[in-house]
Structures are given as structure tokens and as C-alpha cells.
């Protein structure tokens, strides 16, 4: 006899799967210029979503000055379609002022007919202990 699996909505399953992985998720609407970050993405650095209220591209403001050019270049390579995915390691400022090494990954998931990137999604993971 087949046992039924737990009853959960697909959205809940995804949330449960990500819980405890240490991954923060981001979703970037390139047309609107808006980025959504999961609560885990904020928590990884000691922030809460309200800390980003009114700050355009909150994450970008946290990148270490020595890493910002490379991190943004890696991201723009993906947006331009010169790479299929984004992968970069850089430092981000935690709320307490210390620095965390973060591994960012992502990919464009929607492009216009002319190839213009419309939407990208990805993850961020604290790799300070490894670096």
C-alpha cells in the first residue's frame, strides 16, 4: 500500500527544503530594478528585511570596496549572456560591522526575444569559515 506524502503546498515545500541550508535566495526583476531577498539572506548577515526599506539594491551597498568591481562584473557577464551562470565570492558587511565571505550564484531565468535579461534568480551562502 502506498503511503501518502505529507500534505504541503508547493511553496511550503520549497521553504522547508531551504530551511537550514544556510542559503539566502534572491530574485531580481531587471526591468523594474528591484531585488527581493529571502529572510535567510538578511539573517545570514544579521539584518532583517526592514533594514533595507528605502535602500535601492541593498546588497550592493554591503559589498566590500575591494570586491565590488569584480562581483558586479561577474554579475554583468551573466546578465549580458556572456556566461550562463553567475558565480562569485566576495565580502559583505554584516550588521555588526564585520565582514562575511559570501558565495553568490545565479542565472537569468527570463529573457526578452532580443536576448535582454528580464529576470534572474540565485542564492547566497556564507563561506567565511571556508575562506
89: nearest Cα among 70, 113, 76: 70
Q: Report if residue 4 sits inside a domain.
A: no
Q: Report if residue 131 sits inside a domain.
A: no
pTM above 0.75, yes or no: yes
Greater model confidence, 42 or 15 = 42
Q: Report if residue 17 sits inside a domain.
A: no
pLDDT at position 22 over 70:
yes
pLDDT, residue 52, reads: 87
Query: Number of structural domains, the chain?
Result: 1
Q: Write out the residue range of the structural domain in which residue 34 sits.
A: 23-126
Residue 43 banded pLDDT, cuts 50, 70, 90? very high
pLDDT at position 1 over 70:
no
Query: Left, alpha or beta for 128 (phi > 0: left; psi -120 to 50: alpha)?
Result: alpha
CB of 86 closer than 8 Å to CB of 77: yes
pLDDT at position 15 over 80:
no
pLDDT at position 65 over 90:
yes
- Could you tell me the CA-to-CA distances from 95 to 42, 46, 52, 73, 99 in Å, in that order? 10, 5, 11, 25, 9
Q: Which residues contact 70 (CB under 8 A, 6 or more apart)?
A: 88, 90
- CATH code for position 70: 3.30.450.20
Q: Report if residue 71 sits inside a domain.
A: yes
Please compute the mean of the pLDDT values over residues 70-83 and round it to a whole number. Answer: 95
Q: Report if residue 34 sits inside a domain.
A: yes
pLDDT, residue 13, reads: 64
d(CA 85, CA 9) in angstroms, rounded, equals: 29
Q: Report if residue 12 sits inside a domain.
A: no
- Provide the grid cell at 25: 535566495
Q: What is the largest CA-CA distance in the chain?
A: 60
Amino acid at each position: 500500500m502506498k503511503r501518502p506524502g505529507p500534505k504541503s503546498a508547493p511553496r511550503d515545500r520549497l521553504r522547508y527544503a531551504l530551511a537550514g541550508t544556510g542559503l539566502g535566495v534572491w530574485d531580481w526583476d531587471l526591468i523594474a530594478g528591484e531585488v527581493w531577498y529571502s529572510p535567510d539572506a538578511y539573517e545570514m548577515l544579521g539584518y532583517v528585511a526592514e533594514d533595507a526599506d528605502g535602500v535601492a539594491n541593498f546588497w550592493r551597498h554591503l559589498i566590500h570596496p575591494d570586491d565590488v568591481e569584480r562581483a558586479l562584473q561577474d554579475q554583468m557577464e551573466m546578465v549580458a549572456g556572456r556566461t550562463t551562470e553567475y558565480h562569485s565570492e566576495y565580502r559583505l558587511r554584516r550588521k555588526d560591522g564585520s565582514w562575511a565571505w559570501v558565495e553568490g550564484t545565479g542565472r537569468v531565468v527570463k529573457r526578452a526575444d532580443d536576448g535582454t535579461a528580464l529576470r534572474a534568480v540565485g542564492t547566497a551562502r556564507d563561506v567565511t569559515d571556508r575562506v
